[in-house]
Chain A
Amino acid sequence: MSFLFFVVRRLALLVPTLFGVSVIGFLLTCLLPGNPALVKAGPMATPQYVAEMKHKMGLDQPLHVQYGRYVTGLLHGDLGESSSTGRPVLTDFMQRLPATLELTVASLLLALLLGIPMGVLCAIHRDTVIDHFGRVFSVAGVAMPSFWTGLILIYVFFYLLDIAPAPLGRLAPGISPPVTITGLYTVDSLVGGDWHALESSLAHLALPSLTLAISVMAPLARIVRAGMLEILETDYIKAAWAFGLPRGLVIYGDALGNAIIPMITALGVVFGFLMAGNAVIESVFGWPGIGNYAVKALILKDSAPIQSFVLFVALVCILVNLLVDLLYGLADPRVRTG
């Protein structure tokens, strides 16, 4: 089957999923407390004015009409208005998205950087102390509540050792953010040569990204370990050993490439986990991203940011899963027929 056909079929599968997700998103807007008309009309409004507002916003229409309006709004980037900030949710989102993106990417990189070598080490030193340690770590890693891990890291590195900055935001107070290019402080300060901002932003990024990385590292390491063990038994690796190729070249050159293919499929799930973890971890570290924004909205019973966050995360995950599937189809032609 050609790759093009595979892509087309995979894209067609998106249609029902997107429809379903939008229905769930719509149901959430109906169920969430805080009647939008009441909110918009204000606390001092007369019943007539509220009814007028309701009519104006289309809330007296039948459900399918309301759904149509909802989807049309979404397609125009209308996510509703936040009653706590008084601004369109999309504007608030755009302002906070770079922070979330920075944290997510940093933790994903960290998880891969730590998880892959760990899996490889455990596979090479199978059933030794290293492997046992790896196993204990992966069992404990998935059992730790991430917000708790974050707090422990704060206690150790901020309170006891005093080497981490206070868990409040992305930069130390008094340091102005670098000139905006991408919105990622680390990248912007690096590009702009603003070393103070770079140092501060890296220091602030370290603990939250490590916390998130720990929560997803264990499954990644396990997958790499299992894949590695399988590959190391194959004939072509045995042949490579027999030829007397250097150890590092066989393991990292020949074996690892094939061993991490199964990991690609796991990345979709891992990404979903990171996005979900963002909501909690951002509030632990006072990180000004969209997760923190949604959690703050929860407390204020501000429904638009909550439902937008849920919908947004689902859309991002659908997109990432699509990319993962396409990548996988590209890496392993056998998948395309499946």
Chain B
Amino acid sequence: MTLEIARAAYADSPAAPDTAFVSLRRRLLRNKLSLVALCAIVLLVFIAVLAPWITPLDPNEPDANAVLQQPSRAHLLGTDVYGRDELSRIIFAARVDLLVAFVSTFLALLIGSLIGAISGFRGGWLDQIVMRIVDAVMAFPPFVLAMGLTAAIGSSITNLILVIAVTQIPVYLRQIRAEILRERELEYAQAAQTVGNPTWRIVFIHLVPNCLAPLIVQATLAMGFALLTLAALSYIGLGVQPPDPEWGEMVSEGASLMVTGHWWLSLFPGIAILVTVLIFNLVGDGLRDLLDPRMRGR
């Protein structure tokens, strides 16, 4: 009896605070679609890493006897003008596409939050200069800036990563700066300052960890954008150069054959882009629900 009353009394009170991990897992489960998408990313990474072992054929091996074949049992997604197997090329392309998307986003997040945090915390002339530079960079639509920069410095994989990172840095920089400005006025930040912590310690040990949640959401969504940028650059001939397979480059190779009815050459790599970006966006949306309660249900 007493036990039941106690149970009833406690029923409404909040349960013992979950550890971060338990809470994360529970909320992830609630958002099943995002969970599926997260698994899909892991799967994609596996496919990319294992590409040489799982592709049916060599992606760059021409076959004069199998030119421009429709999807069939021998070539599940057909072959291109050189008789190369489309499926193998799409699988191999995942390597460069995912690599550029991941690394450029991570780089932008790292550099953007580093500069943004310092600039926001220090304030003053430094902040003014940084923000004016950011304004100038953001005046360019990201893809157009990427186009100009890639044309200028050349389109190696390293350069593509750098260029896509540069177009994304201002986004994180602004975001973390706004967070830092709010966070540094809070009591714990003031306390950390009062007891004499060095500036770098306050910023990077105390403040930055509390500002990261929205940035991580942004980064997940930005991966899709990075992938779209890379694909579009390759489409106009600036990105990954043939014969290396890349999804945008593959769509481009098939483009002129679309009007003659060879639909499979552009369709499948485009679907690969679409699905991958979709997956990134779904995970990003799920993370937003999870980490940023203000945006929930949007």
Contact = CB atoms under 8 A, between A and B. Distances in A.
Nearest to A275: B141
Main secondary structure of the interface of A (DSSP, over half): helix
B274 A144 contact: yes
A143 interface: yes
Interface in A284-327: 284, 294-295, 298-299, 303, 306-307, 309-310, 313-314, 317-318
A126 to B, nearest CB: 11
B248 to A, nearest CB: 7
How would you classify the secondary structure of chain B's contact residues: helix, strand, loop or mixed?
helix
A247 B59 CA distance: 59
A273 B251 contact: no
B263 A314 contact: no
A181 to B, nearest CB: 29
A249 interface: no
Contact of A145 (B132, B148, B231): B231
Interface in B31-70: none
Interface stretch (B12-20, B196-204, B265-273): B265-273
A319 to B, nearest CB: 10
A20 B237 contact: no
Contact of A20 (B133, B232, B275): B133
Interface residues of A, number: 51
Interface stretch (A27-35, A44-52, A113-121): A27-35
A24 B144 CA distance: 13
B255 interface: yes
A159 B258 contact: yes
A166 B259 contact: yes
A31 B251 CA distance: 29
Interface of B: 132-133, 135-137, 139-145, 147-149, 151-154, 224, 228, 231-232, 235-238, 248, 251-252, 254-255, 258-261, 263, 266-267, 270, 273-275, 277-278, 281-282, 298
Interface of A: 16-17, 19-21, 23-24, 28, 31-33, 139-140, 142-148, 151-152, 154-155, 158-159, 166-167, 226, 272-273, 275-277, 279-280, 283-284, 294-295, 298-299, 303, 306-307, 309-310, 313-314, 317-318
24 contacts: A20-B135, A20-B137, A28-B148, A28-B152, A143-B278, A144-B274, A145-B270, A145-B277, A147-B248, A147-B251, A148-B266, A151-B251, A151-B255, A152-B267, A159-B261, A276-B143, A277-B143, A280-B143, A298-B151, A298-B236, A299-B237, A310-B147, A317-B139, A317-B140
